[in-house]
Structure 1
Amino acid sequence: MTSTNDIPFERIRERAFELWDRNHRPEGLDIQFWLLAERELRTDATGGEGQAHETDAHDGGGVS
């Protein structure tokens, strides 16, 4: 299993920004987007094919 330490900080930062931007840049959800980015990247790194990415907070996705 891939740990968060195996995912480069910059990659998590970029993914979190993409998610935040895609969700219309809401204020105060930085930690939620960071954790969602980590989870998605970890799933990708471990071959989590078939697992849906929860990228849209407005559709009941991973950010609440």
Structure 2
Amino acid sequence: MDSRGAFAYVGHYGVQTYAHEGLGGHEVFVVDIARGEHVASLDCAPITVSTACRSTGRIVSMR
């Protein structure tokens, strides 16, 4: 969630969870909290969301 509480950021793993094997997704979905809808996608390729979570344990910040 951003500092204003307006947007949430959701990793698209591309597999069942970050702990499952597989190529995994490379996008982070941006959700407008007030509207309750997906408003954008951040393409993080070539880094996959599942790789980032496995190496750090969690995503701390998306800036």
Same fold (TM over 0.5): no
Question: When the two structures are superposed, what TM-score results if normalisation uses the length of structure 2?
Answer: 0.30
Structure with the greater relative contact order (CA < 8 A, sep ≥ 6): 1 or 2? Answer: 1
TM-score, reference length from structure 1 = 0.30
- Name which one, 1 or 2, has greater alpha-carbon Rg: 2
